[in-house]
Amino acid sequence: MKADRMRRYVDLHSWLGMVAGLALFVAFFAGALNMFHEEIHHWQTPRTELANAGTVQGLLQQVTASSEDARQRIYLLPGADPGAMWFQSGQDGAPGEWVTAYSSDFNAAGERGDRPHSGLADFVNQLHYQLAIPTVGLTLMGIISILYGAALFTGLVIHWPKLRREFFALRHQGNVRRYWKNLHNLIGVLCFPFHLIMSVTGAAMGAFTLIALVMGALVFGPQLQGVIDKETQVWPAPTLTGEPTEMAPVQRYLDRARQAHPDLTVDWIEVRGYGDQAAWVDVAASIPGVVGHHIHVLMDARAQLIRVIEPGHRSFNYDTLSPMYALHFGDYGGSLVQWLYFAMGLLGALLFVSGNILWCERRTDRNGPSRSSVFLLRLTLGVCFGVVIGLAGSFLASKLLPYTPWGAEIAVLEKGVFLALLLVLVVAGLRSVPLRFSRWMLTLAPLAYLAVPLLQLVLEGRYAWVVPDNLTVNVMLLLVALSLWVVRALLIARLRRAEPHPLWQEGPLPRSDQAVQTVTVK
């Protein structure tokens, strides 16, 4: 390829990476932790709450007895403390909202208490898929994923001709920028298939509404929405007859689903029109051995089989959707794939940091020092360390707050601690010398992640280790601490061998480009 064309590709790759890089760092770091979403959910629940937990059957009866909306449509989540989700309509024209209740919320008389719950797992999830920005966050992440995909294609064009040479090349040979470049290329090349999957599936989920809107407006017309509903729903919503019927117990639905597929694992149960003759129940589950592992067993109110949607017996649209979700969530290959996704998520976060640093250094080398390069490097460091340490702060707050007078506000304070740490570290990052700031943060961050399992051990004793989910989360947090420590060790080793780029050694953020040049010349 001609040199000038290659250069344009490098420029486009850098521009796309810069625009999407910070958001992708947040999504990948939170996504790596979110690989253990269910486990974090269990981890965040105090032992005392689990002791009060009842059964799915009891929860279903308690919720449907008190809410007409829940009778229309309710999702049941089996687990140590079973949960239920339904859409509660607002009163007097107020907008409704999704409500989640757990069996431990109900007392012996079946009354729901107003007990505060940690929202840590959900917050990590929101940070992953919508940067914790309500309403527009999901679509924003969809567009970011599109730019990420375009950056991947341009990256492939750039690296394809020299792929063999760059493979396993992590040398700096006295040139520090080369170190970042090699690190970036190595991770990018090794994890390319993973990133391709993440960009396409992430864009499909995030930009689904946008694509559907444009597709409806330009190609298929307004009927498209109806077709999407028809093609993606498991069964049409029931037309309620108003004739009451006795629903079968939840266990019978589960037994019938296992008759249809003996080795399934139940993910959730959807009940529509509870107590009505036209009611139906969908046991949504997973089966081992296939990537598109989702299966739906549909039954009527009396647990008579209506339909089974499973690999080999489902529409082409389902056959496309199911692997798309599975490939994104990494839940198709058991623990091995889960840990592999976790590792690649952390490496992906490192890919985006190294890409941003490369861009800043390359721009300075090419065009001379500029305020924007200095600002961007510092912003990158501030946001990245802010997110990493902010999340550790949320984990610490989640464990500590129930033992303080502020326990009632736990869900709000978990987010508040994250936001406060993020803001403080972004400001500190902008005002500090980048090299010194990085050294401090790379000492603080591993210690913060090490502190979380230790705190749980102090507060809850053996419970931190004997429960498998707690053990998994604590091991994951220790691995994050170890990874951050390795990055710190690499940074120190690199600095011993070569001088850092001048961008890393400047003092306060300059007010103008002229000031930057003066500082650099000095």
Partner 1 sequence: MRALFAAALSLPLAIMLMGLLAALVPLPWSSWLVLQMLLAIVLWMVLISLVAIPRRAWPPLVGLLVANGASALLLQATSLYGGAA
Task: Tell me: does residue 321 bind partner 1 (CB under 8 A).
Answer: yes
Distance CA(432)–CA(487), nearest Å, equals 20
Residue 173-202 contact track with partner 1, rule CB under 8 A, x = bound: --------------------------xx--
Question: Taking CB under 8 A as the rule, which mask of x and - marks residues 232-271 in contact with partner 1?
Answer: x---------------------------------------
| 256 CB neighbour count, 10 Å cutoff | 18
Contact status: 157 vs partner 1 (CB under 8 A): yes
Rule CB under 8 A: is residue 169 a binding residue for partner 1? no
Q: Cα separation of 224 and 416, whole Å?
A: 41
68-73 contact pairs (CB < 8 A, 24+): 69/96, 70/274, 71/273, 71/274, 71/275, 71/276, 72/272, 72/273, 72/274, 73/237, 73/270, 73/271, 73/272
242 burial level (CB within 10 Å; 0-12, 13-18, 19+): exposed
**Of 419, 404, 415, 431, which Cα lies nearest the Cα of 506?**
431
Contacts of 367 (CB under 8 A, 6+ apart): none
Q: Which is nearer to partner 1, 198 or 516 (CB)?
A: 198
Q: Minimum Å distance from CB 324 to partner 1?
A: 7
Is residue 65 within 8 Å of 81, Cβ to Cβ? no
Segment (H or E) for 146: helix 137-159
* Closer to partner 1 by Cβ: residue 170 or 227: 227
List Cβ neighbours of 53 (8 Å cut-off, separation of 6 or more). 80, 81, 82, 102, 103, 104
- Report d(CA 174, CA 498) in Å as an integer: 5
Number of residues binding to partner 1, judged by CB under 8 A: 47
Q: Which of 68, 111, 229, 231 binds partner 1 (CB under 8 A)?
A: 231
Closest contact distance (angstroms) between CB of 351 and partner 1 is 17
Does residue 11 touch partner 1 according to CB under 8 A?
yes
Binding of partner 1 by 3 (CB under 8 A): no
**According to the binding rule CB under 8 A, does residue 208 interact with partner 1?**
yes
Judged by beta carbon, residue 20 or residue 476, the one nearer partner 1 is: 20
Q: Which of 74, 127, 138, 147 binds partner 1 (CB under 8 A)?
A: 147
CB closer to partner 1, 208 vs 329: 208
Name which of 12 and 278 has its Cβ closer to partner 1. Answer: 12
Residue 213 vs 495, nearer CB to partner 1:
213
Name beta bridge partners: 307: 298
Residues recorded for the chain: 522
Report the residue from 132, 133, 228, 490 that binds partner 1 according to the rule CB under 8 A: 228
Token representation of residue 177: 């920028």
Residue 367 is a binding residue for partner 1 (CB under 8 A): no
Q: How far is the CB of 153 from partner 1 (least distance, A)?
A: 4
Q: Decide: is 136 part of the binding site for partner 1 (CB under 8 A).
A: no
Is 215 a binding residue for partner 1 by CB under 8 A? The answer is yes
Binding site for partner 1 (CB under 8 A): 4-5, 8-9, 11-12, 15-16, 143, 146-147, 149-150, 152-154, 157, 199-200, 203-204, 207-208, 210-212, 214-215, 218-224, 226-228, 230-232, 315-317, 320-321, 324
